Structure 1
Amino acid sequence: MPTDHTLCHCVVCQNIEELDPRIQPTVDVIQQHGWQVTMVPVGRDEAPGWAYTIGLWHSHRIPELAMFGLDVRMMHTLVNDLGQRAVEGQLLEADQVRHDIASVPVVLKAVDYRWYKAFFGTAINFYRKPPFPILQVVWPDHNGVLPWQPGGERLLTHQPRLDLHPDEHPAGVWTQNL
């Protein structure tokens, strides 16, 4: 898929020479592989970890992907696999149900940009100007119930509903630092 970088404000397209040294490894991986998956493992007493891509939008004009609440290495594999399938031509869009990346169906939800600062700092440092599109990969409980369905509310301790405006999200571990 050809990309038009004239509207891109990322550190690569704008030829930013004085990079924050913390972003240079991300730039290097994106230039070599097209994107990277950032893993954010968090301690047991805090919010669960998450993983998200950086570079799919820059390299392929495909929305970035994020996933929360499972083992970070597993989420790394899942969002990386989904990103690769998208690069190979499989469409990714909000509210899409995917049966091909995990042992359970997952749903892609558009992330409200007001969550970006709380969860996607490295992507903001790379892109410099949000919003860039992000789709959250939402997984069901063991009965196939999703967080927005009756009985799915308990999943909100593991994965936030980033499709909601932060003011509409139930109070909890995901909203305490907003």
Structure 2
Amino acid sequence: MNTDHTHDCPTSDELMDTTKINIEKYGLQVMGISSTDYSPSFSYSVGLYESHQHPEIICFGLPTNLAHVIINDVADLIKNGDRIVPHQEYYDKIFKESRAQFLPVNPKNIKDYFYVALNYYQHDNFSALQLVWTDRNDKFPWEDGFEEKFIYDQPLLDRNADFKFREAKNLGIFTTRQWLDHNRPILRV
């Protein structure tokens, strides 16, 4: 099996140069992070804090190209003088015929999700809002009846600062005596 993969990823310096150019030209850069087997995709802005004195925007669980467009649409609202208000419902303004809400990101979560923004600003003293979307029944993740299928697509960054795993906090596990007593590796699961 060939495990060689070629990536067309920019270097850190190239990424920072592109970020600076886009912020100067458009007022922001949108970063898209693809999903993995464990983590949902997410996209976030860099530059709104500097260019418009507005919190950065992050959105989880949508295809990165769609999230990119949506964050740019939100940025256009901000550029036109709107201020995004946390915990306010936005109906039909972000998503057609659907509700959206923005939650303040707990500062403890900034370092885990805003890598390029941290490098750009050279500090973590900026605020961010998480754009949260509803399921097919127009329910938010915290509402009764939210589709379980989507529960891990949007980690809520206003509240999950100390436990950042998909599993429940009280999940039980089994292990072996060899691991606990003799520090032997687990070779088969």
Distance 1:39 1:49 in 2: 8
Partner of 2:155: 160
Secondary structure of 2:38's counterpart equals coil
The 8 Å contact of residues 114 and 165 in structure 1, kept in 2 or not, is answered as no
Q: Which runs of 5+ in 1 are unaligned?
A: 1-18
1:20, distance to aligned residue in structure 2 (A):
4.2
Aligned pairs, how many? 154
AA partner of residue 141 (structure 1): D
Which 4+ residue blocks in structure 1 deviate beyond 4 angstroms?
none
Partner of 2:51: 59
Give a deviation string over 1:121-165, Cα, whole Å, max 9, x none: 001111111131111000111111111122337333101110114
The 8 Å contact of residues 137 and 146 in structure 2, kept in 1 or not, is answered as no
The alignment status of 1:81 with 2:76, answered yes or no, reads no
| Aligned residue among 14, 25, 33 for 1:32 | 25
Give a deviation string over 1:61-87, Cα, whole Å, max 9, x none: 011111000111111111110111111
TM-align CA RMSD:
2.0
Identical-pair percentage: 30
Distance 1:153 1:165 in 2: 19
Superposed counterparts of 1:137-152, under 5 Å: 137-152=131-146
Distance 2:15 2:143 in 1: 40
Partner of 1:9: none
Distance 1:113 1:50 in 2: 17
Mark the structure with the bigger radius of gyration: 2
Distance 1:93 1:42 in 2: 28
Partner of 1:90: 82
Normalising by structure 2, we get a TM-score of 0.75
Normalising by structure 1, we get a TM-score of 0.79
Distance 2:64 2:107 in 1: 23
